[in-house]
Amino acid sequence: MSDPFTGVQARRPRPQGLNAEFYERAATGRLHLQQCADCGHFQHPPRQLCRACTSGALSWVPVEGIGALYSWTTTHFPFDPGWAPAIPYLTGVIELPQGVRLVAALSAEVTPHIGAAVRVALSRLDDDSVLLYLRSAE
């Protein structure tokens, strides 16, 4: 199945700082989250210090990216005209077992309901852009 970004010619985000590091790892085809070496806490969005204990001993750890649909919404009007081919599209929030929530596009294959089993998929749009979307984990 193709990803929900087929035909989309929207402006691509250009992340900076720690967000750029997150997307550089996503470009490898695997989801990574920051984890604190001192307390084990996972976090997103990425930060300089651990949100739980303020340690700076953070590293990037690969995770499976399978979790439960926490929330979703339907977009009927594109903020950027380049998204028009995808209208209407769904955006979802996944809650991962590590306690982290991520926002991503929601694939049409998913029948959205709270608690639906979903997985993070990565869509490489070009050499510089990776977007996240949620597919069914079942």
pLDDT tens string 70-128: 999 999 998 888 878 888 989 999 999 999 999 999 998 999 999 999 999 998 877 77
Distance of alpha carbon 34 from alpha carbon 99, whole angstroms: 12
Domain with 87, as residue range(s), is 65-138
Residues 136 and 72 in one domain: yes
Does 131 reside within a domain? yes
Three-class secondary structure of residue 98 per DSSP? coil
For residue 25, give the nearest of 132, 136, 107, 100 by alpha carbon: 132
Residues 44 and 79 in one domain: no
Average per-residue pLDDT for the chain: 90
Residues 72 and 133 in one domain: yes
| Furthest C-alpha separation in the chain | 46
Q: Which of 41, 63, 85 is the last residue of a domain?
A: 63
b vs e for 62-91, b when ≥16 Cβ sit within 10 Å of the residue's Cβ? Answer: ebebebebbebeeeeebeeeebeebeebbb
pLDDT bin (cut points 50, 70, 90) of residue 3 is low
Q: How far, in Å, are 17, 37, 63, 87, 106 from residue 59 at the CA level?
A: 15, 7, 12, 37, 28
Q: Given this model, what pLDDT does residue 91 score? A: 93
The domain spanning residue 94 has which CATH number? 2.40.50
Residue length of the chain: 138
Does 21 reside within a domain? yes
- 58-62 vs 42-43, strand pairing mode: unpaired
Q: Given this model, what pLDDT does residue 1 score? A: 44
Does 71 reside within a domain? yes
Q: Which residue has the higher pLDDT, 15 or 21?
A: 21
Number of domains in the chain: 2
Does 90 reside within a domain? yes
| The model's pTM | 0.87
Distance of alpha carbon 76 from alpha carbon 88, whole angstroms: 5
Mean pLDDT of 3-13: 65
Does 9 reside within a domain? no
For residue 72, give the nearest of 8, 116, 11 by alpha carbon: 116
